[in-house]
Amino acid sequence: MTQRTATQEEAYLAASASFESNGASQDPAWARELRRDALDAFRELGFPTARRGNEEWKYTDVTPIARVPVRFGPAGTAPRVDAEAVANTALGGPSWPQLVFVNGRYSDALSSVDALPSGVTAASLAEAMRSTPELVQPHLARFAEYRDNAFAALNTAFLHDGAFLHVARGAQVEAPIRLLFLSTDDGEETVDHPRALIVADRESSASVLESYASLSAGERLTNAVTEIVVGAAARLDYYKVQRQSEQAYHVTNTHVALERDSWFSSVNVDVGGRLTRNNLNLLTLAQDCSCSLTGFYMVTGRQHVDNQVIIDHAKPYTTSRELYKGILDGRSRSVFHGSIIVREGAVKVNANQVDKNLLLSDQAEADTKPAFWIYCDDVKCGHGAACGQMDPMALFYLRSRGIDERTARGLLTRAFLSEVIEGVANETLRSQLDGLVAATLREWLGDVG
């Protein structure tokens, strides 16, 4: 298949028709209606282009994404993946509960949900839509607005499988719950639309690790939507780690809504993907909630990573802190576009945003663009952005102590990300992410001591 964008859009529409007529036809009427509505929206929107003067997509050209051949296997089936491959790929502790998806399809056999603590429901979304619609329907597609976002629309148009996580009121969950999305060329599919809905009821506390990895290196599109609702006085720590192949296009729309007195943290990690675009939208629904949004990305070759973070301080006494750091080598490119909106009447908002990039090559490029929309006087907002090369004096300092240049570069590069790594609340993940950074640097620079 070598169709261009316009005909590719038609291919998605055709794929939708066959999707509706097989496995997904058993879904409740409201879900089918939601898909129809989203498909109409996608038909209307088409894939975004920079040519429309579209600021949101100014630095990221999605043409190659739109060109990925569209093939779907029948709903409800997934290519076989053996448990060992899952164990080798999964992050986190081996005893942590895990839902596994292969090419966007839930795999009961590969998942381990026996160890779920009380108060936690973790299930396939398709299953939850049928069995507990009262928990799903009020939240699904409520915050992930698809009427003005083609990728969210496309995901919603194929909404069926996915993860549903529910943490009951007051439940205190220690071990992070894992959602592992694997992609493989062993199936027919070239496109998957992972979907996750995470609802943390009031006064609960939990953490979630959502990770993406490729088991083979073919060209494919992963177009994910995750919706997170954090109830009053609830706490949720959310980790998203993307390690897809260098031929993968990875697009995610993550929407977070915070109720009063809640806390939310996210750590967003990208070390894979040919082209990655993360939209992270956070909305404060009530006062006195706080969030910490951090992340790092490491790109080389011709990789492109684009993080768009929008924090909507709709309510007073809300706090946000953002810290993103990037390491770029080769001819890679990064975009960080951080918007902070402070609505009228949202007094005493405190928002701080930092994005820093370390360029290891002359040909790498980092674009960082803070945007503040402040409609209230009594607020405190700050931002810092930096793109630079390694400090030659720091390099000389290390070398003057006998450390060879390559090791010194590795140490300083790793140190650059330590601020983000050290902020990772979960100890197991902290050390695994540190290991991921070290392994990536070894791949780039060779053995660095």
Partner 1 sequence: MLQITDLHAAIGDVEILKGVDLSVSAGEVHAIMGPNGSGKSTLANVLAGNPSFAVTSGDVLFEGESLLGALPEDRARAGIFLCFQHPIEVPGVRLDHFMRAGFNAIRKSKGMDEFDVLKFDRLLNERVDVVEMDRNLTKRAVNEGFSGGEKKRNEVLQMAVFEPKLSILDEPDSGLDVDALRIVAAGINQLRRPDNAVILVTHYQRILNYVVPDRVHVLIDGRIVRSGGKELALEVESRGYDHLGRSAEAITASG
Of 181, 336, 416, 444, the one binding partner 1 by CB under 8 A: 416
430 binds partner 1 (CB under 8 A): no
Q: In which residue are the tokens 């006085």 written?
A: 233
The verdict on 390 binding partner 1 (CB under 8 A) reads no
Q: Which stretch binds partner 1 (CB under 8 A): 130-138, 280-288, 352-360, 389-397?
A: 389-397
CA 106-249-410 angle, 5° bins: 105
Quick note: the x/- pattern for partner 1 over 340-379, rule CB under 8 A, is ----------------------------------------
> Which residue in 64, 418, 435, 443 binds partner 1 (CB under 8 A)?
418
Q: Which of 404, 431, 439, 442 binds partner 1 (CB under 8 A)?
A: 404
Give dist(CA 155, CA 242) in Å, integer: 18
DSSP assignment of 238-291 equals: EEEEEE--TTEEEEEEEEEEE-TT-EEEEEEEE---SEEEEEEEEEE-SSS-EE
How many H-runs (helices) and E-runs (strands) does the chain carry?
10, 20
Neighbour-count burial of 15, counting CB atoms closer than 10 A to its CB (0-12 exposed, 13-18 middle, 19+ buried)? middle
Whichever of 308 and 413 has its CB closer to partner 1, that residue is 413
Q: Which one, 29 or 393, has the nearer CB to partner 1?
A: 393
Number of C-beta neighbours around residue 418 at 10 A: 13
Distance of alpha carbon 267 from alpha carbon 290, whole angstroms: 15
CB of 397 to partner 1, least distance (A): 4
Size of the residue set binding partner 1 (CB under 8 A) = 25
Stretch that binds partner 1, among 84-92, 194-202, 330-338, 388-396 (CB under 8 A): 388-396
Question: Is 95 near partner 1 (CB under 8 A)?
Answer: no
x/- mask, partner 1, residues 34-73, rule CB under 8 A, reads ----------------------------------------
288-307 residues near partner 1, rule: CB under 8 A: none
Of 286, 398, 425, 438, the residue at the interface with partner 1 (CB under 8 A) is 398
Half-sphere exposure of 157 (CA within 13 A, CB side): 28
- Residue 378 to residue 190: CA distance in whole angstroms: 50
Choice between 130 and 399, CB closer to partner 1: 399
One of 407, 423, 438, 445 touching partner 1 (CB under 8 A): 407
Q: What order of strands is seen across the sheet that includes strand 98-102? A: 105-112, 98-102, 177-183, 205-214, 235-243, 263-270, 290-299, 319-328, 350-359, 380-389
Q: Which is nearer to partner 1, 51 or 401 (CB)?
A: 401
Give the CA distances from residue 251 to residues 58, 65, 149, 150, 369, in Å, rounded to whole numbers and listed in that order. 16, 9, 12, 11, 20
Which residues in this chain contact partner 1 in the complex, by CB under 8 A? Answer: 391-394, 396-405, 407-408, 411-412, 414-419, 449
